[in-house]
Every structure is written in structure tokens, then in C-alpha cells.
């Protein structure tokens, strides 16, 4: 029982990191129609921005805000400079995916050329061990879970109760119709890249915190786990991504405890492939026509 | 030349052979068939591992420092053949990813995930293929008889690699220049339309995964027998991106482009620059190399998406046209047009399947919809429609925008699944059958939006629709031109006759994507006729067409009906309906409001209110 609780606790932490990342990714896809595989690269680049500040003596939780800003700025630039020009030309979605893979190489290895190939860690305290409801986690892990809950609540509030959120949903459903209804879709798209880029930056930093150490290419595998959570929930569905993150996070950590840690990501990918075979639209997505 | 230089040169030649074979395989999938296989590298890895465990002795033979399955110690060339077979067959469990249900970019993600998952499995499960350390001491071919380090052996190895690369080139050329290759390219340009013309997308994609996979497997075998080691580090997904970069830069869909890309990117960029002097911190040059590959991909996709050596245009049709080609949409139709039939252009390759012989003449109703419903979210786009279309009629379907006409047509053709209800075609319930199978029964649709295959010529657009060509399968294509030439010539003759009648002979070799709006509509109608349909479902065939040409098209459609064809046509232009269509079905808000002649409809107040006035 304690093994289960321990792995459940780790699962919640993984799910928390994953949820922040997956919600950002899926909203980016929903509103802008770009399956941006450079998301992981932007995550880790943002984590390095936080690392630079952290090295200069700034507290890592403050640096997290800078990483969010860096992720937002970087994502907007990525869209304005690369994706939007391609989309204006009528480039096929699959070609954009290849472009995003090219951008992944450029960002990741450009970063690695600057920071070097060795892994680094933030200077920070893990805080005291906290027991709550049978879970035993460090204070930092609880903060990550709390942060994820706050972010999810904020996303929910944004989509459900604000005019911006409604405009984002309308743009996602039908961009040209939304434009004809007087929504400034170009602005909505840019704002979406900023918001999801901020989520991406936050996710990169908490991923790096949770991982302990990280390097320029550390997010490669995690990106695939994000994809698993996104497609499990239904691509484009924010609530689906949250659900997918919880399922994948718990499934990977609990299987790691009971089977072996080596295969925890394999479990996530198997879940995704089965989902694609059985219900391509995901748990909460519409059935693909 | 020193010995070291010679060995280095031979080394590059062998890598060139390996990469050319791999790039030809990927180009076949990605460039020709439009299957974006982000998992391509696992096919090469499967071939390499297969060749290794087929040629290695049992794992106890080398002191047990590595463990693996197999170890059959088989003589050359069995391991290489085995590698090609396994590389081809490993695709089969993943065909669900390339079916009709998954968007192309989602399928690509699925294949990427598959590649990463396989790599993790092999890395972590050591008894299978020695885990992360990988296999080493893989025997070189015939190493008992010859010295693998000798110059003669190295020369021979390079020669074999290049000969196999040439063989691969010949193979993909044979496949791509066949009717089957044309179907692959049609699918690449527009898979939904190819489906509606009777192409089995799953079978096409599966076969191209198998073919490309076999080539990848062979390339892996040549590589592993040369470098004698193979480990999970050799096939991360970055390696796949390198091959994609090669195909994009060389020219997708062009075999010469694939060869050039292989020489430029994996060989020239990766291998040759391995020997330039390093500068900066450790790994700095490697990092910049990856950045450069990323930049090359993005820059090429922006400035030259067709690559350095683009796919070439296939010239088939240009038999000097006998009259001046009209340059505008307003083309004159040459005389009364009848459907070119199998009887006119006999096709000895197969039994005649003219519409009349397909028809069940006892039943005057060709197509029947029973309580068809289609919901999108909460919206009832079609809410319980029952119609009957009788043989030999040109039935019109009108209604205001959003009435559900196109949705109804898509359900009848099988492009869109029904929410509930039934479609009965010539006495058979076809509700559960996919679009391509309905098309093969003679129920063929056209599309409201332009749907020509853009990178096929007009002639190829027409030929792509011909059913039952002997060369329209991988097996048929591999048997060569002699096997399918007669079918092809018959099809070309039919296509020429159609082009002549529709006044588009001069455009036979023009790309579909370069046509004007009206020419596209004509091409689409001709293409549908090439399938020898018993029943046509036309979605606004005259939209954007000059009124004069529209009337001529209408007259031809009537001719076709007089010969026994049945047509259901969506059209907004009421004058066309008045002149050609009887009966006319009127839809509004997802239901049938009325059916009858236009005169009847004009007499009904509710119809006039719903559409004719407002």
C-alpha cells in the first residue's frame, strides 16, 4: 500500500508537469492549427533562461516568471517569423510539422552550442519533506502540484468566462467564420501564442526542477510524452489534455513502481497508439470524420 | 593517393550506397505517396538488427559478453535478404496508423512515437538485442574466404553497395512510372478524392510502407555488415530528420533528387564534415552541423519546396491537337458527346464492365436513401432524408446554403459516415461500405471544391481514375510495363477521346493545378466518367463555369442519361434546373421539402418562400 501511495504521489507530480505542458501544446494546436513539435525545444530554452537568472543569484521561483516571459516572446516570434508566413502561403499542415522539426534542431542545437553539452541544475532548496493525506513529497513537489492546479484553474477561467477565451474557442472552431463575426483572429492567434508560450516556459522550468538536472536536448523524450497526453485526451481539447496528463502521469509512475522504471514511457506510448487505433479523436475529442 | 585516402574514399562510396537506398525508400513513401513516415529509421534499424542476428553465431559463441536472440550464423547473402524481408514486414502491425481515420500529421506523430518506443524497448530489454550497448562483431560477408580489411574486399564491397543502389533505383522507377505509381501520386495530392475514385488508401499506403521498409532494411544490412556494430544510438529520431532533409533538398518524388539528396546531406554533410578540423568547445561543430541541417530544411521548404531536382512532368497525351486550343474557360464542345464506353475502346485485359452490364435492370430505382441522418456536434446537417433516384434520370438537388445537400451527397458516396439511416444502391445496402468500394460498384461522386490532383497532368488525372488496370497494384507494377501496357493504351485511348470531346486535348500535359476554374470542373467530370460509373453524384459541376459552357455540359449530361446513366446533381443555378433536371428534389434545413418538376416546385408556396424568393 505504501508503494502504491508513493508512486501515486510521484504520478501526481509528473501529471502536474505534464498538464501544464500539454494544455499549452493543445491550445496552441487548437487555435493556430500548428502541430508545433518545437514546443519541447522552446520549453528547454526557457528553462535555460531561468537557469541564467538563477546562476546570477535570483530565486528559481522568480526566475520561473522570466522563463514564462521568455517562452511567450519566443513562441510569438516563432509564429510570426516562421509559421505564419508558411501558413499564409497555404503550406500543408504536414509540411508545417516538418518545419517545426527543423526549428527543433535549430533551437536545441543552437542552445547546446551556447551552453555546452553537459547537464546543469538549479541552485535551490528542495524544502522539508511534507506528509499530507498519506502522500510523502518534498515541499517543492507540492508547490509544483499547486502551481499546476492554479494554472488549470486559470485556463478554465480564461476559456469559460472571459471574452478572450470565447474568441479563442471561436477561432479554433472556424477561423474564417470567427473573422467574419468581427473577431480579430490574427490578434487572437498572436495572443494564443503568447499565452501558450508562457505555459511552455513555465512547463520547461518545472520540468527542469522536477528532473533535477537538464541539458539542451533533455525535453526530446518528454515532448513525446506530452504528445501522448495530448492525443489521449483529444488533440485541441484543453480539458482532454488535463485528463490525458493525469492518466499518463499516474500510469507511468505507478507502472514504474510495479513493473520497472525502464518501461514507464513505453506504457505512455502504448496507451497513445492504442488510442489512435481505437478512437483517433481522443477521449474528449470529437470522432474524427 | 595514400592507402588511408583510398579507404576513406571507399568508405564514402559505401555510405553513399546505403544512404541512396534509404533515401529512395523514403522518397517513395514521402515524396511519391505522401506518407510522412517519421518512424522511417526503425525500418533501417530492423534490417540492420536482422542482418546482424542472422549472420552472428549463437550468443554463447563469443563468450557471452553480448546477448541477443537468434545467432544463426547464416552465410551471405541470406542475412541481407532476411533484412529486406523483415524491413518490409515490420510495417504491417502499424497499418492502422495510415488508415482513412487518421489525419496525415496525426499519423506522422503516431509513427514518430512508434519509433521512439521501439528504441526505448530495445535499449532497455537487453536479452533481445543486447540493450543500449548494441551488437558488435557482426561478421562481414564471406569473411572466412576473404580478408575484410584488404583493398580488394573494400573495392568489392563498395561496388556491391553501389550496384544494389542502382538496383533500388531501377525498382522504384519501375514502380513509380506504373499505373500503381500514378495512384500513389493521386493519393498524395488528394487522398479523399482518390478514395472517392475507388482507390483503397489503406492498401496503397500499406504497400508503400512495405516497399520503402524493405529498401530501408536492405540499407541497414549493408551498413551493419560494413561497420560491424549496431546500437540504439545509431537510430534516434534525429537520423530520420536527416533522411527527410535529404529527400526534401534533393526533391521529393524525384528519384534522381533522392540520390542527389543522399549524396549531399547524409554523405556530404554528415560523413565528409566529420573530418574537418574542430574548433570551439567539444561538440561545438556537431551542434552547428545539426543547426545547419535544421536551417536547410526550413530554408528549402520556403524557397524551393520542390527540391533541387523536382519531380518531372509525365508527358503522355500530346498528340498534336487538330484544332486551335481555346485559352479561356469558354471552350467549345466538339459535337454531341456520348460517354466513351468500354465497347468503343475495347479493353482486352478484363471483362467488360460497362454500366449497363453492372445494372440490375429489374429495379427502376438505382439509388435509395432511407432516413439518412448526419449530426455535427448538436447540429442536424441532414435530419432524416429519404429519396429515390430513378434510372436514366438527371435528378436535380437544390436548396439554400446550409440545407445539407453536400452532406447528403457525401453520405451517399461514402465520403462521410452516416449518423443513422441507410443507403441502398442497385438493391444492395452499401451504408457500411467505404467510398472506394462504392466507387468500384459504379457509384462515383465529384466535389464542390476544386479537387483535381494538382501535380498530375490532366491526362494523368483521367488515367488515375481507370478501374482494374493490371498495373494498378504493387505486384502488377513490379511485373513491368509489358504486363500492363495494353490496359494502359486502352485507357489512354479512352482519355484522348474524352479530351477531344471536351475540347481539352491541348491541355493533356498541363498540371491539374495550373488549370483555370472551368477547366478544373471539366477535368473532374471527365475523370469521373473514366471510372465508367453507373451513377454519378455531381456537386455543383457548373459552379464558376461560363453560362454557355454550363449549358453544353448540361446537354452532355442529358446524353449520358439517355444512354442509361443516372445522375444526381447539386446545382444553384435555377435556369439549369429548369432546362435539364427532372425531377428536382428541394432540400431545406436538413430535410426534403418537396420533389417534382421545377414547374411543380415553383407552384408551391413553401418552396418559393424557402428558396426561390428569399
Q: What is the pLDDT of residues A162-184, one digit of tens each?
A: 999 999 988 888 888 888 888 88
Query: What is d(CA B243, CA B119) in angstroms, rounded to the nearest whole number?
Result: 18
Domain containing residue B431: CATH number: 3.40.50.300
Q: A residues 166-225 near B, CB within 8 Å? A: 220-221, 224
Residue B493 burial class via C-beta count within 10 angstroms: exposed 0-12, middle 13-18, buried 19 and up? middle
The answer to whether position B398 is within a domain reads yes
Q: Give the mean model confidence (pLDDT) for residues B181-191.
A: 95
pLDDT score of B321: 45
Residues B230 and B367 in one domain: no
Percent of chain B with pLDDT over 90: 57
CB A178 within 8 A of CB A171: yes
User: Which residues neighbour A201 within 8 Å (Cβ) at sequence distance 6 or greater?
Assistant: A42, A43, A46, A47, A49, A67, A68, A69, A70, A71, A72, A74
**Residue B546 clears pLDDT 90, i.e. is over it:** no
Answer whether B294 touches A (CB < 8 Å): yes
Which residue, B181, B207, B234, sits at the end of a domain?
B234
Last residue of a domain, one of B179, B213, B234: B234
- Is A147 in a helix, a strand, or coil? helix
Mode of pairing for the β-strands spanning B584-588 and B394-398: parallel
With bands split at pLDDT 50, 70 and 90, how would you rate the model's confidence at B342?
very low
Q: Check residue B325 and give its pLDDT.
A: 44
pLDDT at B359 over 70: no
Q: How many CA atoms lie within 13 A of A111 on its CB side?
A: 26
Closest-CA distance of chain B to residue A176, Å: 16
Only one residue has cell 535549430, namely A106
Chain A: closest CA distance from residue B578 (Å) = 33
Beta partners for residue B457, in sequence order: B511
Tens of pLDDT along B195-217? 999 999 999 999 999 999 999 99
- Measure CB to CB from residue B124 to each of A94, A104, A262 and give the nearest one: A262
- Do the Cβ atoms of A224 and B113 come within 8 Å? yes
* Per-residue model confidence (pLDDT) at position B358: 47
Please tell me the distance in Å from B486's CA to the nearest CA on chain A.
37
Contact B416 A289 (CB under 8 A): yes
Query: Is the full-model pTM beyond 0.80?
Result: yes
pLDDT tens string B484-537: 999 999 999 999 999 988 888 899 999 999 998 888 888 999 999 999 999 999
B292-318 pLDDT, tens digit per residue, is 999 999 999 999 999 999 998 888 855
SS3 B382: strand
Q: Is B424 on the interface with A (CB under 8 A)?
A: no
Is A47:A207 a contact under the CB 8 Å cutoff? Answer: yes
Interface contact B544, partner A, CB < 8 A: no
ipTM for the predicted complex? 0.92
| B575 contacts chain A (CB < 8 A) | no
Q: In B, which residues are within 8 Å of A219 by CB distance?
A: none
Count other Cβ atoms within 10 Å, centred on residue B26: 29
Find the residue in A nearest to B281 (Cα): A116
Residue A44 has a pLDDT of: 97
Q: Report which DSSP code applies to A287.
A: P
Task: Encode B332-367: b = buried (16+ Cβ within 10 Å), e = exposed.
Answer: ebeeebebbbbeebebebeeebbbeeebeeeeeebb
State the total domains in chain B: 2
Q: Identify the band that residue B612 occupies on the pLDDT scale cut at 50, 70 and 90.
A: low
Please indicate whether, in this complex, the C-beta atoms of B241 and A102 are within 8 angstroms of each other: yes
Range of the domain at B44: 3-234
Is A91 in contact with B291 (Cβ distance < 8 A)? no
Q: What is the pLDDT of residue B320?
A: 44
How far does the CA of residue B34 sit from the closest CA of chain A (Å)?
10
Tell me what pLDDT residue A40 has.
97
Q: By CA distance, what is B131's nearest residue in A?
A: A262
Helix (H) or strand (E) holding B10: helix B3-26
Q: Does B305 touch chain A (CB under 8 A)?
A: yes
- From A130, A126, A155, select the one nearest A19 (Cα to Cα): A155
Handedness of CA A103, A107, A113, A118 (dihedral sign): negative
B109 contact A CB<8A: yes
- How many other CB atoms are found less than 10 A from the CB of residue A6? 17
Given a cut of 50, the residues of chain A with pLDDT beneath it are: 286-289
Identify the sign of the CA torsion B557, B559, B560, B564: positive
Indicate if the pLDDT at residue B361 is higher than 80: no
Whether chain A has a CB inside 8 Å of the CB on B121: the answer is: yes
What is the model's pLDDT at position B519?
87
Tell me the pLDDT tens digit for each residue of B447-471. 888 789 999 999 999 999 998 899 9
Please give the pLDDT value at position B545: 81
- Would you say residue B85 has pLDDT above 90? yes
Residue B278 lies in a domain: no
Give which of B253, B287, B413 to mutate to test A binding, by max A Cβ within 10 Å: B287
Contact between chains at B283 and A117 (C-beta distance less than 8 A): yes
* Least Cα separation, residue A71 to chain B (angstroms): 20
Say whether pLDDT at B319 is over 70: no
- CA dist B258 and B235 (Å) reads 20
How far apart CA A289 and CA B539 sit, in angstroms, is 19
Query: Is the residue at B110 inside a domain?
Result: yes
Enter the C-alpha cell of residue B355: 454500366
Lowest mean pLDDT among A236-245, B33-42, B290-299, B354-363: B354-363
Q: Is the bond preceding B583 in cis, omega lying within 30 degrees of 0?
A: yes
pLDDT above 60: residue B354: no
A44/A207 Cα distance (integer angstroms): 9
Amino acid at each position: 500500500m505504501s508503494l502504491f501511495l508513493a508512486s501515486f504521489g510521484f504520478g501526481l507530480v509528473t501529471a502536474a508537469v505534464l498538464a501544464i505542458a500539454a494544455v499549452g501544446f493543445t491550445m496552441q494546436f487548437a487555435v493556430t492549427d500548428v502541430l508545433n513539435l518545437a514546443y519541447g525545444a522552446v520549453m528547454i530554452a526557457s528553462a535555460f533562461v531561468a537557469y541564467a537568472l538563477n546562476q546570477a543569484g535570483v530565486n528559481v521561483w522568480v526566475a520561473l516568471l522570466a522563463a514564462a516571459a521568455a517562452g511567450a516572446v519566443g513562441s510569438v516570434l516563432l509564429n510570426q517569423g516562421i509559421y505564419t508566413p508558411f501558413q499564409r502561403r497555404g503550406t500543408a499542415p504536414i509540411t508545417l510539422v516538418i518545419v517545426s522539426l527543423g526549428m527543433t534542431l535549430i533551437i536545441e542545437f543552437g542552445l547546446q552550442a551556447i551552453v555546452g553539452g553537459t547537464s546543469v541544475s538549479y541552485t535551490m532548496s528542495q524544502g522539508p519533506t511534507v506528509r499530507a493525506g498519506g502522500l510523502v513529497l518534498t515541499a517543492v513537489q507540492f508547490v509544483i502540484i499547486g502551481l499546476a492546479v492554479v494554472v488549470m484553474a486559470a485556463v478554465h477561467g480564461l476559456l469559460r468566462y472571459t471574452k478572450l477565451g470565447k474568441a479563442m474557442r471561436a477561432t479554433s472552431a472556424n477561423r474564417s467564420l470567427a473573422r467574419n463575426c468581427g473577431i480579430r483572429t490574427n490578434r487572437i492567434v498572436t495572443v494564443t501564442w503568447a499565452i501558450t508560450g508562457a505555459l511552455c516556459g513555465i512547463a520547461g522550468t518545472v520540468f527542469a526542477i522536477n528532473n533535477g538536472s537538464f541539458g539542451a536536448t533533455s525535453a526530446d523524450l518528454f515532448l513525446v510524452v506530452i504528445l501522448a497526453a495530448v492525443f489521449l485526451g483529444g488533440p485541441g481539447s484543453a480539458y482532454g489534455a488535463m485528463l490525458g496528463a493525469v492518466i499518463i502521469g499516474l500510469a507511468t509512475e505507478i507502472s514504474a513502481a510495479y513493473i520497472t522504471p525502464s518501461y514507464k514511457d513505453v506504457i505512455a506510448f502504448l496507451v497513445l497508439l492504442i488510442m489512435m487505433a481505437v478512437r483517433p479523436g481522443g477521449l474528449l475529442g470529437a470522432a474524427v470524420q | 593517393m595514400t592507402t588511408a585516402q583510398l579507404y576513406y574514399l571507399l568508405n564514402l562510396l559505401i555510405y553513399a550506397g546505403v544512404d541512396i537506398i534509404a533515401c529512395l525508400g523514403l522518397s517513395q513513401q514521402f515524396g511519391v505517396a505522401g506518407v510522412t513516415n517519421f518512424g522511417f529509421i526503425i525500418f533501417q534499424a530492423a534490417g540492420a538488427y536482422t542482418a546482424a542476428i542472422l549472420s552472428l553465431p549463437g550468443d554463447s559463441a563469443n563468450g557471452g559478453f553480448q546477448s541477443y536472440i537468434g545467432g544463426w550464423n547464416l552465410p551471405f547473402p541470406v542475412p541481407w535478404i532476411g533484412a529486406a524481408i523483415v524491413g518490409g514486414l515490420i510495417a504491417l502491425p502499424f497499418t492502422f496508423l495510415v488508415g482513412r481515420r487518421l489525419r496525415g500529421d496525426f499519423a506522422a506523430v503516431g509513427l514518430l512515437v512508434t519509433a521512439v518506443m521501439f528504441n526505448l524497448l530495445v535499449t532497455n530489454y537487453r536479452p533481445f538485442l543486447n540493450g543500449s550497448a548494441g551488437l558488435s562483431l557482426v561478421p562481414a560477408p564471406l569473411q572466412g574466404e576473404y580478408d575484410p580489411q584488404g583493398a580488394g574486399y573494400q573495392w568489392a564491397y563498395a561496388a556491391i553497395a553501389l550496384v544494389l543502389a542502382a538496383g533500388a533505383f531501377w525498382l522504384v522507377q519501375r514502380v513509380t512510372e506504373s499505373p500503381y505509381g500514378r495512384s500513389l501520386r493521386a493519393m498524395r495530392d488528394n487522398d479523399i478524392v482518390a478514395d472517392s475514385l475507388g482507390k483503397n488508401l489503406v492498401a496503397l499506403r500499406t504497400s508503400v510502407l512495405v516497399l520503402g521498409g524493405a529498401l530501408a532494411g536492405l540499407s541497414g544490412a549493408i551498413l551493419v555488415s560494413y561497420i560491424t556494430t549496431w546500437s540504439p544510438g545509431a537510430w534516434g529520431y534525429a537520423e530520420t530528420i536527416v533522411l527527410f532533409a535529404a529527400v526534401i533538398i534533393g526533391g521529393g518524388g524525384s528519384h534522381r533528387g533522392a540520390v542527389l539528396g543522399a549524396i549531399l546531406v547524409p554523405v556530404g554533410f554528415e560523413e565528409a564534415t566529420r573530418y574537418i578540423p574542430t574548433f570551439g568547445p567539444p561538440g561545438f561543430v556537431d551542434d552547428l552541423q545539426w543547426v545547419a541541417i535544421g536551417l536547410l530544411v526550413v530554408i528549402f521548404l520556403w524557397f524551393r519546396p520542390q527540391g533541387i531536382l523536382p519531380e518531372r512532368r509525365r508527358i503522355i497525351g500530346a498528340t498534336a491537337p487538330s484544332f486551335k486550343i481555346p485559352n479561356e474557360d469558354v471552350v467549345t464542345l466538339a459535337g454531341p458527346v456520348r460517354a466513351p464506353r468500354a465497347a468503343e475502346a475495347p479493353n482486352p485485359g478484363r471483362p467488360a464492365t460497362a454500366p449497363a452490364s453492372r445494372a440490375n435492370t429489374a429495379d427502376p430505382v438505382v439509388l435509395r436513401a432511407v432516413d439518412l441522418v448526419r449530426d455535427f456536434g448538436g447540429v442536424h446537417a441532414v435530419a432524416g432524408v429519404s429519396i429515390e433516384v430513378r434510372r436514366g434520370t438527371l435528378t436535380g438537388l437544390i436548396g439554400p446554403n446550409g440545407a445539407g445537400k453536400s452532406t447528403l451527397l457525401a453520405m451517399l458516396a461514402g465520403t462521410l459516415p452516416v449518423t443513422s439511416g441507410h443507403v441502398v444502391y442497385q438493391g444492395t445496402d452499401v451504408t457500411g461500405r467505404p467510398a472506394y468500394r462504392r466507387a468500384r460498384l459504379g457509384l462515383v461522386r465529384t466535389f464542390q471544391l476544386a479537387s483535381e490532383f494538382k501535380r498530375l497532368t490532366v491526362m494523368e488525372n483521367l488515367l488515375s481514375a481507370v478501374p482494374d488496370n493490371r498495373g494498378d497494384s504493387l505486384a502488377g507494377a513490379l511485373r513491368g510495363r509489358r504486363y500492363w501496357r495494353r490496359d494502359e493504351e486502352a485507357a489512354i485511348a479512352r482519355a484522348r477521346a474524352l479530351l477531344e470531346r471536351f475540347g481539352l486535348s491541348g491541355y493533356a500535359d498541363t498540371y491539374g493545378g495550373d488549370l483555370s476554374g472551368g477547366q478544373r470542373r471539366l477535368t473532374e467530370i471527365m475523370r469521373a466518367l473514366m471510372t465508367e460509373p453507373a451513377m454519378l453524384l455531381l456537386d455543383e459541376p457548373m459552379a464558376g463555369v461560363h453560362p454557355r459552357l454550363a449549358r453544353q455540359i448540361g446537354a452532355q449530361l442529358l446524353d449520358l442519361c439517355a444512354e442509361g446513366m443516372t445522375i444526381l446533381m447539386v446545382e444553384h443555378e435555377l435556369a439549369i434546373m429548369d432546362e435539364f433536371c427532372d425531377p428536382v428534389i428541394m432540400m431545406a434545413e436538413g430535410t426534403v421539402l418537396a420533389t417534382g418538376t421545377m414547374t411543380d416546385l415553383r407552384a408551391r408556396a413553401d418552396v418559393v418562400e424557402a428558396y426561390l424568393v428569399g
